[in-house]
């Protein structure tokens, strides 16, 4: 099971990568295979990966073709091969074989109909932040 963390602050300076790294340290046990961080002027996304799909190329955060939509995600999209095929027919280009990349392209199409749990996405230049998730209880 992966771990995700993030910072969003439209008023302060760029999120500190060091703080995101410390956050990843607390959830390291959730995803020991890889760690990834994305920051822009308002948002920072971090991901601790447990590799299941696309073992060599699915490190997160994941982005779209022009790097305006970024996502970190924990879960599995079981029908991603079918969704990918449909999105490729509509002109979307993929750079990984992971199910997570489906999310940025579905978000672009504004047809996010797949049931998704812990995910955070940020979109430039509209400064849109879309956190979604389910309640976690120990």
The catalytic residue among 2, 37, 45, 77 is 2
Per the annotation, the verdict on 2 as an active-site residue is yes
Say if residue 121 is preceded by a cis peptide, omega within 30 of 0.
Answer: no
Q: Report the C-alpha gap between 78 and 71 in whole angstroms.
A: 18
Task: Let me know: does 84 contact 96? Beta carbons within 8 Å.
Answer: no
Per-residue DSSP letters for 62-122? EE-TTS-EEEEE-S--TTHHHHHHHHHHTT---S--STTHHHHHHHHHT---S---SEEEE
Residues known to be catalytic: 2
């Amino acid at each position: 099971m992966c771990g995700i963390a993030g910072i969003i602050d439209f008023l302060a300076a760029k999120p500190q990568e060091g703080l995101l790294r410390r956050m990843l340290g607390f959830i390291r046990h959730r995803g020991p295979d890889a760690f990834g961080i994305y920051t822009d002027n308002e948002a920072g996304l971090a991901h601790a990966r447990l590799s299941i799909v696309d073992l060599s190329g699915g490190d997160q955060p994941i982005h779209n073709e022009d790097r305006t939509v970024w996502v970190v995600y924990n879960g599995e999209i079981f029908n991603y091969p079918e969704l990918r095929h449909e999105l490729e027919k509509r002109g979307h280009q993929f750079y990984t074989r992971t199910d997570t990349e489906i999310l940025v392209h579905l978000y672009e199409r504004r047809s996010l109909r797949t049931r998704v749990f812990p995910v955070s996405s940020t979109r430039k230049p509209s400064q849109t932040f879309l956190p979604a998730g389910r309640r976690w209880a120990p």
